[in-house]
């Protein structure tokens, strides 16, 4: 086939995809035009409010809710997973029931429930201590309780899955060497399970950054609550929602970048870097040898 040598290869043309891409571009540009040309949006309000003190305070509280609820739910989820994998039917039953209940009812309902807890438990008397529920369960506490207890149900399942993913030969080898059950769990099983459970914990953390906005229904002073407080006075609803969205995007992008770096360190990335981070890393050329 000497005559073919040097002939240029023309890949098959995918006409259908070209047409779809062209149509999609037209639609997106049209929508963008509609948004930008809207005279009802005060674009200048966005830079004005983006670093507003109230907004920044809201961001801090959103971060506090995310971090605290993740820490509490990881601890509680670990405990629940341990109960679930025990051999005692009461303990496994409790853990199953917990997961069933907290995953089966809406988080929004749980938030409103904790906020109104004093309606049916006005106070607790514990051996001389009188606890006034109204004073203890502030919007902050109600929001944190609801987020943590709900998330613990998901964490329990993630951790149980991680522990079950480890080959039974590992615990047999540890037992045969004379590890006590606790030593085998802490030194052999858990470190291996960690590699399995860190990616989903990262996903849950990123989801939690956005889920915290639900606590605005009890005015827990997170980013969305503050945003709503501002637009309740000046009616710049869309502008302030854009400000909030920008901040949520910033937080989730940074978090998914961190997740990617952690997973790469663990040598077990479950996916690709988020699109924005890939672009940043191409610019910084830190992607290195990873293909």
Partner 1 sequence: MSAMVEAVDVHKSFGALPVLKGISMTIQKGEVVCLLGPSGSGKSTFLRCINHLEPMTSGRIHVDGQRIGYHERHGKLYEMSGTELARQRRDIGMVFQRFNLFPHHDVLTNIALAPTLIRGEGREQANARARALLKLIDLEGRESAYPYQLSGGQQQRVAIARALAMNPKLMLFDEPTSALDPELVGEVLAVMRKLAADGMTMLVVTHELGFAREVADRVVFMDQGVVVEEGPARSVIDSPQHERTRAFLGRMH
Residues engaged in binding partner 1 (CB under 8 A)? 167, 169-170, 172-181, 183, 187-188, 191-192, 195
Q: Are 199 and 270 in contact (CB under 8 A)?
A: yes
Which burial class, exposed, middle or buried, applies to 143 when counting CB atoms under 10 A from its CB (0-12, 13-18, 19+)? buried
130 alpha carbon, distance to own chain's centre: 37
Least gap, CB of 94 to partner 1 (angstroms): 22
Least gap, CB of 228 to partner 1 (angstroms): 47
- In the numeric block, which tokens belong to residue 150? 């709900």
Least gap, CB of 168 to partner 1 (angstroms): 9
Instruction: Give the separation between CA 260 and CA 194, rounded to whole angstroms.
Output: 15
Least gap, CB of 270 to partner 1 (angstroms): 18
Q: Which is nearer to partner 1, 86 or 234 (CB)?
A: 86
232 alpha carbon, distance to own chain's centre: 28
Least gap, CB of 107 to partner 1 (angstroms): 35
Q: Which is nearer to partner 1, 31 or 266 (CB)?
A: 266
Per DSSP, helices labelled H in the chain are 15-36, 45-50, 53-84, 89-104, 107-115, 133-136, 139-164, 168-177, 181-183, 190-211, 223-234, 237-265, 275-284
Beta-sheet strands, E only, within the chain: 123-126, 129-132
Instruction: Give the separation between CA 218 and CA 139, rounded to whole angstroms.
Output: 6
Which burial class, exposed, middle or buried, applies to 163 when counting CB atoms under 10 A from its CB (0-12, 13-18, 19+)? buried
Q: Which is nearer to partner 1, 76 or 201 (CB)?
A: 201
Q: Which is nearer to partner 1, 113 or 179 (CB)?
A: 179
Least gap, CB of 191 to partner 1 (angstroms): 5
Q: Which is nearer to partner 1, 177 or 275 (CB)?
A: 177
Q: Which is nearer to partner 1, 95 or 188 (CB)?
A: 188
């Amino acid at each position: 086939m000497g005559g073919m040598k040097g002939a240029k290869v023309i890949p098959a043309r995918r006409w259908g995809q070209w047409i779809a891409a062209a149509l999609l571009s037209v639609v997106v540009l049209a929508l963008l035009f509609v948004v930008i040309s809207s005279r009802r949006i005060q674009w200048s309000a966005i830079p004005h409010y983006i670093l507003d003190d109230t907004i920044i305070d809201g961001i801090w509280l959103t971060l506090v809710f995310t971090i605290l609820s993740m820490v509490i739910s990881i601890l509680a989820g670990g405990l629940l997973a341990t109960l679930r994998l025990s051999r005692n039917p009461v303990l496994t039953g409790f853990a199953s029931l917990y997961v069933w209940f907290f995953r089966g009812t809406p988080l929004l309902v749980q938030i409103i429930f904790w906020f109104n807890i004093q309606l049916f438990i006005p106070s607790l008397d514990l051996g001389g201590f009188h606890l006034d529920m109204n004073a203890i369960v502030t919007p902050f506490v109600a929001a944190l309780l609801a987020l943590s207890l709900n998330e613990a149900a998901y964490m329990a399942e993630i951790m149980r899955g991680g522990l079950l993913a480890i080959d039974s030969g590992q615990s047999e080898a540890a037992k045969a060497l004379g590890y006590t059950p606790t030593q085998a769990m802490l030194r052999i099983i858990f470190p291996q399970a960690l590699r399995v459970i860190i990616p989903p914990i990262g996903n849950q953390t990123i989801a939690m950054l956005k889920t915290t906005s639900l606590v605005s229904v009890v005015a827990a002073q997170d980013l969305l609550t503050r945003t709503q407080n501002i637009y309740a006075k000046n009616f710049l609803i869309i502008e302030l929602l854009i400000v909030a969205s920008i901040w949520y995007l910033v937080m989730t992008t940074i978090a998914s970048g961190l997740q990617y770096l952690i997973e790469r360190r663990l040598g077990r990335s479950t996916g690709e870097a988020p699109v924005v981070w890939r672009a940043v890393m191409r610019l910084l050329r830190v992607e290195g040898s990873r293909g």
